[in-house]
Amino acid sequence: MTSKTNSNRAYLAIDQGTTSSRAIVFTAEFEMAYTAQQEFAQYYPRNGWVEQDPEELWQSVLAVTREALAAARQQGLQVTHIGIVNQRETTLVWHRDSGKPVYNAIVWQDRRTSQYCRSLSAHEDMVQQKTGLRLDPYFSASKLRWILDNVDGANALAQNEKLLFGTVDSWLIWRLTGGEVHATDVTNASRTSLYNIGENCWDNALLALFGIPPAMLPEVKDCAADFGMTAPDILPESLPISGVAGDQQAAMIGQGCVQPGNVKATYGTGCFALVNTGADCPVSQSGLLTTIAYRLHGQTHYAIEGAIFVAGAAVQWLRDGLGLIAKAADSEAIASQVGNEHGLVVVPAFTGLGAPHWQPDARGAIYGITRATSADDIVRATLESVCFQTHDLLTAMSQSGVTPTGLKVDGGMVANEWFCQFLADTLNVPVVRPHIMETTALGAALLAAMQAGDIAGLNDLATATPCQKTFTPTANSDRETQLVRWQKAVQATLLMAQ
Ligand SMILES: Nc1ncnc2c1ncn2[C@@H]1O[C@H](COP(=O)(O)OP(=O)(O)O)[C@@H](O)[C@H]1O
Ligand SMILES: O=P(O)(O)OC[C@H](O)CO
């Protein structure tokens, strides 16, 4: 696919993920011309807490953005528009005047508000009807409440309209525009638990339930819209920010999943499988979420979503927590050498279980350890667990009336060929990996190009990311046994959480 102009025009996609920030330059043909990437620290101050430093996060974005813009110039490319896509739900609060954060960013994986969410359980139906979400610590509202309740003076400052709330996109827009623009897009808003996805507005009843002053909230825009110009002292030249979306919704766009029934799964820190449901806004009865896929020209498209909190994060744990592998990619060779008779089941519920179980107090477990168990067995069983979790999501999707006949995949983990093949074998459907694996960033570039008027609309997108490889399911005689064992392990893990 090519934008209308074939010049040296280019788009800059800022992909602010859970573990790293990337800035990727896309040409007018939507090919990647340059990638800058920087990891940043994660903080785990207490059991179940996950935080990031907003300044470190900002500095990482600034550094990769400047690097990518310089590289584009060197290649003779003229970046004309910026798109931003981001880890969703992560919650920040900062001073309206100084722009200083009042607390660390509370990351989507953080479970500190599980007790508080339980205390609101009488309102679960209302929250689900209005937001499509569960009453779960995953979403922003309870994290925002926690900051207002626990940071000295924050509640009073918020009541006096001195503080602003935002998800990561809003924080970056605020900093990039030099404090001029306090805005978000509708997909990020739809993950806060404060936004009514049917009526497309911040919802007064939800604001009252969580005690959030409306003056803190960002303005909500379409995904392709005018989000302001970058401030002159921030980047070498002022550029318009013209596309914004949550990273999972952006990946849908980048994967060309723009027709009802299209489904993709992104394997980064977590795994998020989304099915496009078009103009329909169904309420799932099988533990899935309903969310806004995108809104363009005021028209809202919805998706049902299965969210797994730990996917690539489990591989990081093998590397950083257990020291069983030196780098994530090593897991591929190890898994292919280990036979499947290891008998282990890893349930990586490090930060609770998401869809379809929604048990924030669950914690990880390894079942079936014997004297013969090796480190390599644990590595393989960890990769397997991500495939089994995806199987649970697709089962829930079938129960919601959508039976995927194939799965488009992307994200850091799908570089692992063994993983993709085992996924296809477990799901018993073809798994399709795109030519551009950075589909999230591609989604940002496409949204920016749309607002620039360089591409017409989403119908062009089905061909945006041609397939690079299809993993066809192979016969696995152990599949049923493995899935039964997985279910038993999940049930035991859920039981331990009660
Ligand atoms: N070859 C690999 N095999 C398995 N996991 C991998 C591999 N390469 C990267 N990962 C995992 O992918 C994740 C990074 O993917 P990415 O899409 O950048 O995540 P995020 O956007 O959440 O920061 C890490 O958690 C890492 O452990
Ligand atoms: O950073 P990722 O790619 O795992 O995405 C995080 C999600 O947006 C959380 O909902």
pLDDT digits (tens, 9 = 90+) for 132-143: 999 999 999 999
Q: Which ligand is nearest to the CA of 87?
A: 2
Nearest to 186 by CA among 155, 224, 152: 224
pLDDT in the model for residue 461: 64
What is this structure's pTM?
0.93
d(CA 464, CA 460): 7
Interface confidence, given as ipTM, is: 0.97
Closest by CA to 194, choosing from 246, 135, 119, 153, is 135
Using the mean position of ligand 2's atoms as its centre, give its distance from the Cα of residue 268 in Å.
7
CATH of domain 9-246: 3.30.420.40
Q: Give the pLDDT score at 5.
A: 55
What are the beta bridge partners of residue 301? Answer: 294
- Of ligand 2's atoms, which has the minimum distance to the CA of residue 109? 9
pLDDT bucket at 168, cuts 50 / 70 / 90: very high
What integer pLDDT is reported at residue 205 of this predicted model?
Answer: 97
465 has a pLDDT exceeding 60:
yes
Please tell me the distance from the alpha carbon of residue 96 to that of residue 174, in angstroms, as a whole number: 10
Ligand 1 centroid–CA 19 distance in Å is 9
| Number of the ligand 1 atom closest to the C-alpha atom of 313 | 25
In this prediction, residues 400-405 reach a mean pLDDT of: 85
pLDDT > 70? residue 6: no
Return the best residue to mutate from 14, 42, 269, 308 for the ligand 2 pocket (most ligand atoms within 8 A of CB): 269
- Scanning 400-438, the segments in alpha helix (DSSP H) are 417-427
The residue length of the chain stands at: 498
| Mutation test residue for ligand 2: of 37, 88, 288, the one with most atoms within 8 Å of CB | 88
Sort strands 407-410 and 201-202 into parallel, antiparallel or unpaired. unpaired
pLDDT in tens, 39-86: 999 999 998 899 999 999 999 999 999 999 999 999 999 999 999 999
- Residue 431 structure tokens: 């798994």
Domain ranges in the chain are: 9-246
Residue nearest to ligand 1 atom 2, measured at CA:
329
- Looking at the CA of 272, which ligand is closest? 2
**What are residue 52's DSSP bridge partners?**
105
* Confidence (pLDDT) at 286: 82
By alpha-carbon position, which residue is closest to atom 10 of ligand 1?
A: 413
